[in-house]
Structure 1
Amino acid sequence: MDVPEELPVAGTVVLLRTGAHGMEVLLMRRPERGSFGGAWVFPGGKVEDIDRMPDSSEADDARRAGIRETFEEVGLVVSDLVALSRWVPPPEAPRRIRTWFFVARAAGDDVHAAADEVVEHVWITPAAALDQHAAGAWTMFPPTWMTLHDLTTFGDVSAVLAAAGRHRSFATRVDGTAFVWEGLRLETRELPWRLRAE
Structure 2
Amino acid sequence: MTLGSNEGFAVPERLVEHARRFYAEGGTPATPRVAATVLLLRPGTGGFEVYVIRRVAEMAFGGMYAFPGGGVDPSDSRPDLDWSGPAPERWGERLRLPADAAQAVVCAAAREVFEEAGVLLAGRPGGDVLGDVSGDDWESARQALVSRRTGFAELLRRQRLALHSDLLVPWSRWITPEFEPRRYDTYFFVALLPDGQRTRDVSGEADHTMWVRPADALARARAGEIAMLPPTMVTLAEVADCADLATVPAVAAGRDVATPITPRLELPGDGGRPRFLLDPRNTSI
How high is the TM-score relative to the length of structure 1?
Answer: 0.83
Which residue of structure 1 lines up, in the alignment, with residue 233 of structure 2? 145
Which residue of structure 1 lines up, in the alignment, with residue 204 of structure 2? 116
Q: What RMSD, in angstroms, separates the aligned Cα atoms of the two structures? A: 2.3
- Check conservation: 2:263, 2:276, Cα contact below 8 A: no
Which residue of structure 1 lines up, in the alignment, with residue 264 of structure 2? 173
- Superposed CA deviations along residues 90-134 of structure 1, whole A, max 9, x for unmatched, are 222221110000111111452222251221211111111012112
TM-superposed deviation, 1:181: 2.1
Which residue of structure 2 lines up, in the alignment, with residue 69 of structure 1? 112
- Superposed CA deviations along residues 157-197 of structure 1, whole A, max 9, x for unmatched, are 11011111343331333223122223489xxxxxxxxxxx8
- Check conservation: 1:104, 1:161, Cα contact below 8 A: no
Q: Which amino acid aligns with 1:157?
A: L
- Check conservation: 2:47, 2:244, Cα contact below 8 A: yes
Q: Partners of 1:130 and 1:183 in 2: how far apart? A: 23
Q: Does 1:161 align with 2:249?
A: yes
Structure number with greater Rg is 2
- Check conservation: 2:115, 2:203, Cα contact below 8 A: no
- Displacement over 4 Å in runs of 4+: none
Q: Does 1:81 align with 2:168?
A: yes
User: Greater relative contact order: 1 or 2 (C-alpha under 8 angstroms, separation 6 or more)?
Assistant: 2
Q: Partners of 1:148 and 1:75 in 2: how far apart? A: 22
Which residue of structure 1 lines up, in the alignment, with residue 135 of structure 2? none
Residue correspondences, number: 183
Q: Partners of 2:263 and 2:114 in 1: how far apart? A: 29
- Check conservation: 2:33, 2:71, Cα contact below 8 A: yes
Q: Which amino acid aligns with 1:15?
A: L
Structure number having the greater strand percentage:
1
Which residue of structure 2 lines up, in the alignment, with residue 34 of structure 1? 59
1:50 corresponds, among 53, 71, 75, to: 75
Structure number having the greater helix percentage:
2
Q: Which blocks of at least 5 consecutive residues in structure 1 are unaligned?
A: 186-196
Q: Which amino acid aligns with 1:182?
A: P
Q: Which amino acid aligns with 1:95?
A: R
Which residue of structure 2 lines up, in the alignment, with residue 93 of structure 1? 180
Q: Which amino acid aligns with 1:139?
A: A
TM-superposed deviation, 1:17: 1.1
- Check conservation: 1:83, 1:167, Cα contact below 8 A: no
SS in 1 for 2:173: strand
Q: Which amino acid aligns with 2:219?
A: D
Which residue of structure 1 lines up, in the alignment, with residue 222 of structure 2? 134
